[in-house]
Amino acid sequence: MSTQYRVQNPVTNEVIETFDFATDADVEAALGKATTAFREWSARPISERAAIAARVGELFKERKDELARIAGEEMGKLYSEAVEEAEFSGDIIGYYAEHGEEFTKDQEIPTFSDGTAAIRRLPIGPLLGIMPWNFPYYQIARFAGPNLVLGNTIILKDAEICPRSALAVQKIMDDAGVPEGVYTNLFASHEQVSTIIADSRIQGVSLTGSERAGSIVGAQAGENLKKAVLELGGSDPYVLLDTDDVAAAAKLAWDTRMYNTGQACNSNKRMIVMEDIYDEFVAELEKLAAAAVQTTPDKEVEGGYSALSSREAAEKLRDQLDRAVESGADLRVGGELSERGAYISPAVITDIPVGSDIYYEEFFGPVAAVFKVSSDEEALDLANNTQFGLGGTVFSQDTERAAAISRRLECGMANVNTPAGEGQELPFGGIKRSGFGRELGPLGMDEFVNKQLYYVEK
């Protein structure tokens, strides 16, 4: 474990700035302020909370260039992708500001008695958010947006490699008029996170991160009887049954896989391709991989790829590729680890033995893993042969053929003829070892809520 929060530029591996962990007094102060602020914040009309949240969303967009530069320096995100992320974050928070009152209105229940009954949706109190580095703004927005409007208060523990983005979000909250204690960034250690989860003032915890982190936080939440939302890893199937343009299909699959340098939970980590187009599809991927050019976040070029989030992440991915080859896989192209920084060249790998240990691991980086199948049923069986269950997609010129498979995918988000259905209005989340709970859309406002029965006898 690191000893400090730090900005460590993955392009050079140079540590630029460090930040001390919060003290125990800082933790206690954050808990106290979140608890005190909840009483006042939750008592405000939702329209007031929504107005402040709307300003938060506007500031994400107004400061998109600054936010993009920070993300590039901290975790290597390409500038255009970081700008897009900041804009999307603003859209998410604006969505809840606009629709929050509708999503939380009382739900009347027909009753057989003489009284009237309804379900109220009320805030539950201070929450802990534990967020990752791969989307340093979007991940916070989808957790904070609905809960700020709902009336909960938030302590936010960000990833240890993106402290400047965490501070930039805190500044946005402050400048938008979010009251002190309603949103508090805290550079907490792992031990302090455990303390916060156990504290009686905290009513819930949301984590987006690794399977390992999720199992630890989920266990701690359960031990302390706290509501938890966990968005963990994925090994999403990307099934291509047929196409009239293999090159275009390969380009779409490749661009999807390379987004954020392959560091997305719901990326197309397993490409499952029908045998009659498999060879041409793989050949097209190999061309794209061979043409990839190493670049930096501020100097985007066609086919350019940036550094991974850290040297450690790049070395782990290279080790996974080595183990895949040792198990019998064919590394067709790429996978070269840079001598300096956190670069690994985009790779195409085939013939990973299904059922091997490495088959069940998540490749979190620019690796296109391709599998050949000979029937729709074989494609479905392979798609569901994973311990994860985040997303999945099926492509075919026959929409109903693709839909028939998609209806049987064991995942939280099934898509047809698109890499993913994405938008602030579309719920995000998985099943199996990809976690539980949903963010975004109406469901994103229905997690950390007291669904209180309100009954009045006539």
Q: Where are the beta strands (DSSP E) in 29-112?
A: 107-109
Helix (H) or strand (E) holding 5: strand 5-9
Biggest CA-to-CA distance, the chain: 76
Which of 87, 211, 265, 286 is labelled catalytic? 265
Q: Which of 377, 376, 367, 370 is nearest to 395 (CA)?
A: 376
Quote the CA–CA distance of 68 and 81 in Å, as a whole number: 8
Which of 85, 231, 284, 362 is labelled catalytic? 231
**Collapsed DSSP state (helix, strand, coil) of residue 230:** strand
Quote the CA–CA distance of 316 and 307 in Å, as a whole number: 14
Strand-strand pairing, 347-350 and 330-333: antiparallel
What is the CB-side half-sphere exposure of residue 336 using CA atoms within 13 A?
12
Quote the CA–CA distance of 109 and 288 in Å, as a whole number: 57
Told to judge if 28 belongs to the known catalytic residues of this protein, a careful annotator would answer no
User: DSSP string spanning 187-206?
Assistant: ---HHHHHHHHHSTT--EEE
Quote the CA–CA distance of 362 and 4 in Å, as a whole number: 27
Q: Which residue has the tokens 């140079």?
A: 14
**Collapsed DSSP state (helix, strand, coil) of residue 254:** helix
Q: Where are the beta strands (DSSP E) in 34-111?
A: 107-109
Quote the CA–CA distance of 360 and 367 in Å, as a whole number: 14
Quote the CA–CA distance of 177 and 136 in Å, as a whole number: 21
**Collapsed DSSP state (helix, strand, coil) of residue 377:** helix
Quote the CA–CA distance of 300 and 313 in Å, as a whole number: 22
Quote the CA–CA distance of 450 and 122 in Å, as a whole number: 5
Phi, psi for 350 (deg, rounded to 5): -130, 170
Quote the CA–CA distance of 24 and 14 in Å, as a whole number: 29
**Rg of the chain's alpha carbons, rounded to an integer?**
23
Q: Which of 158, 21, 16 is nearest to 73 (CA)?
A: 16
Quote the CA–CA distance of 72 and 80 in Å, as a whole number: 10
For 379, the token pair is: 């494609």
- For the chain, the first-to-last Cα distance in angstroms comes to 60
Told to judge if 265 belongs to the known catalytic residues of this protein, a careful annotator would answer yes
Which active-site residues does the annotation give?
231, 265
